[in-house]
Structure 1
Amino acid sequence: MTSKPKAQLAPLPRTEILVYWVLSFGSHLYSFYQLHRFSKDHEASLVREFQLEKGLLKGFKRDPLDFEWSFWTEWAKKSLLWTLIGHGVVSRLTSTFYPKLRLPALTIYGVLAACSVLGIKGVSLLLVHLSLSFSVAQLRKPALSWAFSLLLLSTLHIQPLQDIQRRWYKSEEEYYLLLFSVAVCGLRFISFSLEHCWSPLSHGGGDVVQLSWLFSYTFYHPFFYNGPVITYKDYTEQMRRPAEESDREESALSYFLLRSVRIIVWWCIAEYMIHVMYMHCIQSNETYIEILPPWALGGLALALVQFFYVKYLVLFGLPSMLATLDNLVPPQLPRCVSIMYSFTGMWRHFDEGLYRWLIRVGLQRQQMKQVIPDVPPPSNTFQLFLGDPEAFPGQMRYIIPPAGSGSTLGSPPWWTCLENLQRKSLQTTSTGSFRREGAVPLLRAPSGCLSFSPYHPTEEAHFSCLYPRSCSLGHYPELMTIGESWNVDELVN
């Protein structure tokens, strides 16, 4: 029996799209304005309670309670901004005059820069972790490498070790920087160990070559402290490419200037937000949240989310720019959370580097099953995020259709057990389009956990017309996200 062709979706009128954008921006700006008014009305009490800092703008105070922003801003002023600039200078000089020495030069520079900030003792701790991870990886046992890497990371929570490491530094900020560096480097050690376990014995050269690549990967300065994360496989493949394959040489200066201006603009937006809206102080006191007007409460939620987005545009923007100039392909910068259609899109596109890392290191689930057969391996967790119906087989699972447009004729009740649903090869919707068998991404979770089904197809079609660049997420057309299509199979190869 031949199936009818899928109905063509007509684009929305431009006028309607314009109306939606105006309403979206208008609601954002009005809610921000209401939050600003509330912040100014209660500025005196906020100053007394939270010690608002003197602002960069005349007549404004500055909200200092976002730890990440304050922490990395202070470290950028002290040293990190200058060491990143130094990395860029070393990279350009070696690329121009001594291309064959570029990789060793960047590695040596990264080690020296880390020593200047973390001190000899801090770098020595990282070298101990590096050497132990490298030694365990030689056994080529993925489960053992996983377990040992987690054991190394767990040492960050041992109180006696914390006390010893705190005595190395004069301030808590220096100790926290060491913690962040060890944690991020731990991700790199896991990536290297698993790639080494999976590679053939004759692949990648001898132990000295592998160790040198691990040093380069670990101490690559733009990604050293805070990311973004890049897998060992991607790093080595991209660094091995000849310099002439890069098309950035002729436009490197223009790219650098344009990207620098964008980063400065993002930084200005982030600073402006914490000068005119004291959202972090307000959210720290339940009393303020209870007396917030409805529009200001919505503005508080939007401001916190948007500030988080802009903050990581800055924190990831500068390292990504330097990595691009080094002929690497860094992860894409976060996407605006206000145009994300699903939480799956948030998971994939806000921190693309971490997403790719998790997908890559979760490949070999069979080895994990052999060691711990009753515990789902990491890749099942990633399948859960991706909406794979084969994650956590044999467990109870539920479907919860959304309210509103999803509650149409033919939809199941507000909750329905999967085993009671009769699914056909093709289900015709009320709009005349078709849905393939298994297309509904069911999030299988242990008993008691609930998961969400996608929106109704009419809502999906409406969204795809409103955002022309939207496309399907992986194998599930119902989950939409802005931007380019992703294929999970390509990510892990």
Structure 2
Amino acid sequence: MGLPPFEVSVSLFLYVGALVCAIYHAFQYGQSIDILENENSFSEGWLIGRKRDDYDAEWESFVENTQKYVYWYICHVFLSEIVRQLEPHRVCFMHAAIGISFVWRNFEPLVAGAMFAMIFSYYVAMALQKRYVWMLTVVWLAILNMLKQSVWEERLSTMLNEKEVCDAMIALSWLLLRVTSFAIDYCNARPNEDPERIRIKFSTLHYLAYSFYLPVYLHGPPLIYERYAKMIPQNKLYRVQESWYRLEELVISLLRIGCVYVLNEICMHFIYANVVIYHPDQMEHMNLWAVYGFAYAIGQYFCNKYIVAYGLGLSLAKFDRIDAPRKPMCIGRIHLYSKMWKHFDHGLHDFLFKHIYAEMCTRTSSLPRKLFASFVSFAFIYFWHGYYLFLLVWVFLNLASLYIELFGRHISRSQQYRRFLKPIGSQNIQRLNAILGGQLLISSSISNVMFIGGPNIGKWLMIHTYFTGGLLNYLILSVTAYNLYQVSTFIFRCEEDKK
């Protein structure tokens, strides 16, 4: 039994009120930032009288690449659909041809060669055993992380400019997940399925089509092979009405993404969160509300960025009849870190759950085995993102949050716990869970801000929250976290009831 609707409404009002107040103070502080002193952080905005915060290199790169490669995306949609209607069995050939042409035309020979080398190496490894696939993945992770080091970046800068290096590293990282997914699926299917079925499902053409699949090639999201493979037999289903429906869905999805893009651009004219990331010393001069307003803005900008970047690839993939994962869920409505991992980056969660976690344990496995599977999954996340100390701290805090959730869920299912708390009633139990869960939400939110904004922002925010901010500050933060917990729980419960 959930909380009374009135109580949830009060929590919603207080939570939204706290967000509005924090964002307003962040906006007010932004007016005092010396634009001339930080002129490299701003560009001429397209809103009259407002400068635009353009310090998010990843966002700027995505916008630039989308404008640069928009004709490639149009060609992909147009040519793939023509082939789907006329020769549906050749759709994978068209995906491979477009993707290979894109790589050959837009990447330097050195980068394109590295991509082909990665694909060929997995083609050889998957013919052996699964452990060799994982060994090869470790080797490629080590190579990619080595290339991120300053010494190698300087050497690469003699052959590639900074943006080309960045695009190459991102594309290779996405490619690594795809070729690993294909190879593991092949190794798992080989002893269990009919050889002829395996030959068709895991053909060289399908491998190339999936590896070079253009919509997710440069800016993601991760797409496991199982989702791509489901599309292949559906290409034979030809109905004009269904084609128009997919086109309508594509247009609507792109319009929604466009709305988020415009909203994000407008906000970058008023809330200068990215400037604060590169100048964390400015947080020392803010009041408490402004600090948390900027912390929320940093997270929300990150969320909006991936809603747009992932949304573009997912929209095109769904038009191709691929059972693509959902777009990232807004971070402002998620109260548990396990749900953050599951609902923010569905594609990465698919990969981790299917190829690592589920390979090591099942739903009925013991708690220690589940904890170890979670540890290995997060170790992979750390190596995939890069060997940096602040990322190690971020992964550690994330893992600790999940461990606490797992322990809490394990305890809450015990008969002793239920008998102990039965006298206080289910609603009071939910309130108690929100009080305790809110503390976990605060620490996990700080770790997320550190991941996005860097170690200096995270360190300052952690010290200010737990040591120097004062009791009143922490009390207000705890009440806000409690209200978010209740609102988010209510929303998730309503969504489950609708299923």
The bucket for the TM-score relative to the shorter chain is 0.7 to 0.9
Match among 175, 178, 181 for residue 188 of structure 1: 178
RMSD over aligned Cα, in angstroms? 3.9
Is the Cα–Cα contact under 8 Å of residues 181 and 224 in structure 1 kept in the other structure? yes
The answer to whether the aligner puts 1:212 opposite 2:205 as a matched pair is yes
Taking the aligned partners of 1:240 and 1:326, their CA distance within structure 2 comes to 12
Quick one: structure 1 residues 235 and 208, their matched pair in 2 at CA, closer, same or farther if it must change by over 3 Å? Answer: closer
Cα distance per residue 1:107-130 (max 9 Å; x no partner): 101111122211343222211111
Instruction: Tell me which residue corresponds to 1:117.
Output: 106
- Partners of 2:491 and 2:337 lie apart in 1 by 18
Structure-2 residue corresponding to 1:147: 135
Structure 2 unaligned spans of 5+? 362-368, 381-399, 434-442, 445-480
Partner of 2:461: none
Q: 1:22, CA displacement in angstroms?
A: 3.6
Which residue in the other structure is 2:65 paired with? 75
3-state SS of the aligned residue for 2:207? helix
Q: Retained in 2: the 8 A contact 1:111–1:219? A: yes
Specify the code of the residue in structure 1 equivalent to 2:229. T
Contact 1:283–1:289 (8 Å) recurs in 2: no
Once the 2 structures are TM-superposed, how far is the Cα of residue 262 of structure 1 from its aligned partner?
Answer: 0.8
**Secondary structure at 1:138's aligned position in 2?**
coil
Percent identity among equivalent residues?
20
Quote the residue 1:66 is aligned against.
56
Contact 2:12 2:487 in 1 (8 A): no
Partner of 1:335: 329
Match of 1:156 in 2: 144
Structure-2 change in CA distance of 1:44 and 1:254 (3 Å): same
Cα distance, 1:337 vs. partner?
Answer: 1.0
Partner of 2:123: 134
Aligned residue runs from structure 1 range 337-486, under 5 A:
337-362=331-356, 363-365=358-360, 378=373, 381-382=376-377, 423=416, 427-433=420-426, 468-471=490-493, 483-484=495-496
1:9: Cα distance to partner? Answer: 4.2
Instruction: Name the CA shift for 1:92/1:245 in 2 (closer, same or farther; >3 Å).
Output: closer
43, 49, 52: which one aligns with 1:53: 43
- Counterpart amino acid of residue 321 in structure 1: S
- Partner residue of 2:75? 86
Alpha-carbon separation, structure 2, partners of 1:460 and 1:157 = 39
Provide, for residues 63-119 of structure 1, a one-character-per-residue CA deviation record: whole Å limited to 9, x for no partner: 122121122122222x23332222112222222333222221121011111222113
For residue 313 of structure 1, give the secondary structure of its aligned residue in structure 2.
helix
Find the aligned partners of 1:112 and 1:251 in 2 and give their Cα distance. Answer: 29
Q: Which residue of 2 aligns with 1:284?
A: 278
- For the residue of structure 1 that corresponds to 2:232, the secondary structure is helix
TM-score by length of 1: 0.73
The match for 2:389 is none
Aligned to 1:36: 27
**TM-score for the superposition, normalised by structure 2:** 0.72
- How far off is 1:144 after superposition? 2.1
Inter-CA distance 66–172: structure 2 relative to 1 (3 Å threshold): same
The answer on whether the counterparts of 2:89 and 2:236 sit within 8 Å (CA) in structure 1 is: no
Shift of 1:164: 6.2
| Deviation for aligned residue 1:383 | 10
Larger Rg, first or second structure (1 or 2): 1
Is the 8 Å Cα contact of residues 264 and 304 (structure 2) preserved in structure 1?
Answer: yes
Deviation, 1:324, is 0.6
**Equivalent pair of 2:35/2:42 in contact (CA under 8 Å):** no
CA distance in 2 between partners of 1:273 and 1:216 (Å): 38
Equivalent residue for 1:390?
Answer: none
Partner Cα distance (1:205, 1:400) in 2: 42
Q: Name the CA shift for 1:427/1:138 in 2 (closer, same or farther; >3 Å).
A: farther
> What is the alpha-carbon distance in structure 1 between the residues aligned to residue 341 and residue 27 of structure 2?
30
State whether residues 238 and 328 of structure 1, in contact with CA within 8 Å, keep that contact through their aligned partners in structure 2.
yes
Over 3 Å counting, the alpha-carbon distance change for 1:209 and 1:289 in structure 2 is: closer
Return the alpha-carbon distance in structure 1 between the equivalents of residues 331 and 55 of structure 2: 22
Q: Distance in 2 between matches of 1:336 and 1:51?
A: 26
Gaps of 5+ in 1: 1-7, 367-373, 386-395, 402-414, 441-449, 452-458, 472-481, 488-493
* Residues 107 and 216, structure 1, Cα contact 8 Å, conserved in 2: yes
Distance of 2:175 and 2:199 partners within structure 1: 23
Superposed CA deviations along residues 419-458 of structure 1, whole A, max 9, x for unmatched, are xx994675543443499xxxx9xxxxxxxxx99xxxxxxx
* 1:464–1:470 contact (8 Å) kept in structure 2: no
1:175 alignment partner in structure 2: 165
- Find the aligned partners of 2:214 and 2:353 in 1 and give their Cα distance: 24
2:244 to 245, 250, 253: 250
- Partner amino acid for 1:200? R
In 2, Cα distance between equivalents of 1:243 and 1:423: 56
CA–CA distance in 1 between the matches of 2:153 and 2:482? 50
- In structure 2, the residue corresponding to 1:41 is in which secondary structure? coil
Please say if residues 428 and 434 of structure 1, whose CA atoms lie closer than 8 Å, have aligned partners that are also in contact: no
Q: Structure 1 residues 424, 302: closer, same or farther in 2, change over 3 A?
A: closer
Alignment partners' CA distance in 2, 1:323 and 1:292: 44
- Can you list the C-alpha shifts for 1:401-428, whole angstroms capped at 9, x where unaligned? 9xxxxxxxxxxxxx9xx9xx99467554
Distance 1:115 1:165, change over 3 A: farther
Structure 1 position 255, deviation (Å): 1.6
Q: Secondary structure at the match of 2:203?
A: helix
Q: Which protein is richer in helix relative to its size?
A: 2
